[in-house]
Amino acid sequence: MKNLVPRILLASLFVFASFAAAGAQVKSKTAKADTAAEQPGDLQKFRQDFIKAAEEYRASLQELSASYESNLKKLAEKHEQLKGLYTDGLIARKEFEASEAEMTDARARVEEMRTEMARADETLAAARRPIEPLSTAAPLQVASAQVKWTTGSTAIDNLIRLNGQRYGVDPYLVYCVMRQESGFRLGATSPVGAAGLMQLMPGTAARYGVSNPYDPAQSIRGGTRYLADLLRLFGGRVDLALAGYNAGEGAVMKYGRRIPPYRETQNYVRTIGTRYAQSGGGVMLTGKSVEREARGNRR
C-alpha cells in the first residue's frame, strides 16, 4: 500500500499534464492560431492525447480499486474472527461494532471506485468513437470573429472545441449554452429532470446515445449534436436553434418556425443570443426583436 500511493499520484499527474499540454496547444498560439488549433491535425493530436490520458487514469483507478478490494477482504476475515470472539463473550460490543463500521467504510470505497471506473470507461468509449463527417444539408452558424472564453476547466474547454469541430458548431455557441444551462456545474439537475453540463432531458439524452448525462464527455457530445441538428433544421438561424434547445423543436415548428411565445424561452434566446453576438457570429436579439417574434406567433 505504501508503494501504491506514489504510483497513483504519478498517474494522476500524468493525466493532468496531458490535459494541460492539450490546453497549451490551444492557448499557446496567438489569436490567429486559435482557429489553427481546431484544424484536423491538431484535433486528432488532442484526441490521441485525451485517450492516452484517460487510459492512464483508468489504469490508476484499477490499481487503486484492487488495493481497496484486498483491504476489504482482510477486514472481512478479521470481522469473522471478531464475530466469534464476541459471540463467546471474549471482546466488548464496542470493539465488534467498530469492526462493522470499518467494513461499511471499506465497502463504500470499493463501490465508489467501481462507479468511477465505469465513468472512465464511458468517457473512453466516447473518445474512441470515430469523428462523424459533417453534413452539408444546410450551413451552420459559425462566428466570424474569435472571442476569449473558458469554463474554468481546460479539460471541458477542450471537449467543447473537440465536439464543436466534430459536428460543425461554433465552440463559443456551445460555451454560451452551457453557461446558461448549468453554469458549468457537473452535477446540475433541473426540477423537470434536465441533467448535466448541457442539461439534457432524458428523451434527448437517449436520442443521442447519452447513457450518463453527468459525464462531461457524453453531455457535451450529446448537447453539441443536438445544437448541430437544430441549426440544420432551422437553416442556420441561431435564435431558432436556441428556442428549440429550450422549448423543443416541436414548439418552434408549431408556431410557424418562430420563437414560441413563452417568457422563459424568449428570455433564454435573448440572453444567450446577446452574449453570442459579441463573437460577431450571432444575431443580436434585443427585447423588441424577441417581442416582435412573439406578436407574430399570436396572430
Which residues are catalytic, by number?
181
- Nearest-angstrom CA–CA distance, 198 and 6: 36
Measure CA 254 to chain center: 31
- Nearest-angstrom CA–CA distance, 97 and 114: 26
